[in-house]
Amino acid sequence: MAQGKTFVRTVENRLQDPRDLVVRRPDVFKEGENVYVSNFLTRDGYATGLKHLVKLSVGMFMNPESQLKIEGGLEGHELGLQLLEGRIRVRCRKEGDADYQEFLMGDDTHNVFSGWKEAFYLPEGYEYEILPAGQVRALFFKGEAMLHPGRDNYSHLKDLGKTERDLAPAHVKANARPEKGEYEIKRYVVDGGAGFKRTIQASFIVGGPTGTNVPTKKVVGGITYHQKWMRSGNSDSEGPHRHPDWDEAYLFVQNTLGGKWLVDAIAENDGQLVEAEAIGTQSIYNRDRSINESFKVGSLDLALMGARARGDETGVYHPVDSCQIELVFFWLMGGWRTILAPENEGRSFRQPISPNTALD
């Protein structure tokens, strides 16, 4: 990939109003050194309405030769990371240890819309670094789930034959090698009936009808793909549903670049991402319609569905429609319950699909 311009070290993208439910991406990434769109939320990374998810961030390594690294520590938090494009290195170690474990993620061929995406989970008590790898740019989405000792319920770990001490760094990918700390991606088609059909990649999931691939305390993550059948009238979403006691965040990407990498398009257009003529719709509402809004969403917009959005503790419904353009959204969740169970669970059919199934 051509390197082109480099970009700013940090871009802060704040909520205009702490009650906002969708956060727009910055219009222009100014010239500087790489891009790290940090926190998206309030000054310390916490948003009104979210109980569990914090420090939601998008990273863009525009210049692979840069020495920039993103680092942090997980005291009372656990980390979920989804790689959208390119290659990155993740280095991590338990706090107090001398040596790092290192994980190489991604490749130099897949854009957001081709191939299954790699992901990474890191439990509390670790420190980490995220760095460029190789000679390609990279784009990733990460967030942390805040743990609440004494209030969270981790009984699912016992059901899995695990304890909290068994939780470890997990690299989620296709053709995983368990002896290397790698976990296999879970993939399935969801058919919710009445026009709701989609393909899911479960990056790190705990319980529910699809089982468990990565044991975690409370963070859950994956990807929803908009495929050919959806462009003929089906919704991207599982039908109107909600997750009481869970926070959820969607990061959207539209396929308007004819196979070109999103991160390259931004780099080669003076830091700007041209908006599509037809963009997706994120609807967010509750049962009594005291929350009842729809938002137009495009690439790198972020939707926030908080467990207590605008004070409502019952959860908000959050269907997505794509307006006939291929759409992907990367999602991260965190919540009180150990088993993920959307309200319409009984109305959906999940068909597991092979790791070699093409996205078409």
Q: Which run of H or of E encompasses 23?
A: strand 22-23
Q: How does the average pLDDT of the chain come out, rounded?
A: 75
Tens digit of each residue's pLDDT (9 = 90 or more) over 54-68: 888 888 887 777 777
Q: Look at domain 11-352 and name its CATH class.
A: mainly beta
Residue ranges of domains in the chain: 11-352
DSSP code per residue over 253-318: EE--STT--HHHHHHTTTTB-PPPSS-EEEEEE-TTSSSEEEEEE-TT-EEEE-TTGGG-TT--B-
Mean pLDDT of 194-217: 67
Residue 215 has a pLDDT of 84
Q: Answer whether 0.75 is exceeded by the pTM.
A: yes
DSSP code per residue over 154-205: -HHHHHTT--GGG---EEEETT--GGGTEEEPEEEEEEEETTEEEEEEEEE-
pLDDT at 247 over 90: no
Q: Which residues pair with 39 in a beta bridge?
A: none
Cα 219 from Cα 288, distance rounded (Å): 29
Mean pLDDT of 198-219: 71
Confidence bin at 20 (pLDDT 50/70/90): low
pLDDT at 344 over 50: no
- Asked whether 60 and 7 are in contact (CB, 8 A), the reply is yes
Residue 341 has a pLDDT of 44
pLDDT at 279 over 80: no
Residue 27 has a pLDDT of 64
- Asked whether 130 and 169 are in contact (CB, 8 A), the reply is no
